[in-house]
Amino acid sequence: MKLSLKQTGLVVAAIALAIGAWLALLQAPAAPQVRFTTIKGETFTIAELRGKVVMVNFWATDCVICVGEMPKIADTWNKYHTQGFETVAVAMSYDPPNYVLDYAERNRLPFKVALDPMGDAARSFGDIRFTPTTFIIDRRGNIVQKYLGEPDFARFHALLEAKLKEPA
């Protein structure tokens, strides 16, 4: 069967549309544009961190897993921050700010620790209710990984290393 030039053009256009739709489904979702306020009073948005690989970790001082992973998160930040890695630890809305401040100071957390008193950040990231919940955002501002619970830090570091090599 021989196709006319018009029919061939329609087939090619249909294939191109199908490929485009498939690629759009594979693209990572953009991180929500949330404004964070840290325990030091600093405010910033995810958009202001564009160009960096960002970890957003929702946690609470009464969460045993969260507290257990914090030294590993600090080690990760210390290892990768000079390469363009940033960490934002977002305390859940029910966590008393003085507990968060005390924990961060006592444990000398080296990264940004934000409060979410109204739960806006948690809602923006998909109504987070389980801690820890962690997101990795690439240099272009897209969510590339979500972890419920403590991640396997060897795999987590491998992902960070790959994302830190990518252009912004």
pLDDT score of 131: 97
Q: Quick one: pLDDT band at residue 2, thresholds 50, 70, 90? A: low
- DSSP characters over 102-126: HHHHHTT--SEEEE-TTSHHHHHTT
Q: Tokens representing 97?
A: 């700010």
Q: Please tell me the distance from the alpha carbon of residue 55 to that of residue 144, in angstroms, as a whole number.
A: 10
pTM of the model: 0.83
* Residue 106 belongs to a domain: yes
* Residue 6 belongs to a domain: no
Exposure of 155 by Cβ count < 10 A (0-12 exposed, 13-18 middle, 19+ buried)? Answer: exposed
* Residue 127 belongs to a domain: yes
The total number of structural domains that make up the chain: 1
* pLDDT tens, position by position, 19-39: 544 444 456 688 898 999 999
For residue 117, say if its preceding peptide bond is cis, omega within 30 degrees of 0. Answer: no
CATH of the domain at 52: 3.40.30.10
CB atoms within 10 A of CB 1: 3
* Residue 80 belongs to a domain: yes
* Residue 65 belongs to a domain: yes
Give the range of the structural domain holding residue 129, as residue numbers without chain letter. Answer: 30-165
* Residue 8 belongs to a domain: no
Question: Residues 135, 108: contact at Cβ < 8 Å?
Answer: no
* pLDDT tens, position by position, 59-109: 999 999 999 999 999 999 999 999 999 999 999 999 999 999 999 999 999
Looking at residue 130, the DSSP 8-state letter turns out to be: S
* Residue 45 belongs to a domain: yes
Region of poorest pLDDT, from 1-15, 99-113, 118-132, 137-151: 1-15
* Residue 11 belongs to a domain: no
Q: What is the mean pLDDT of the chain?
A: 88
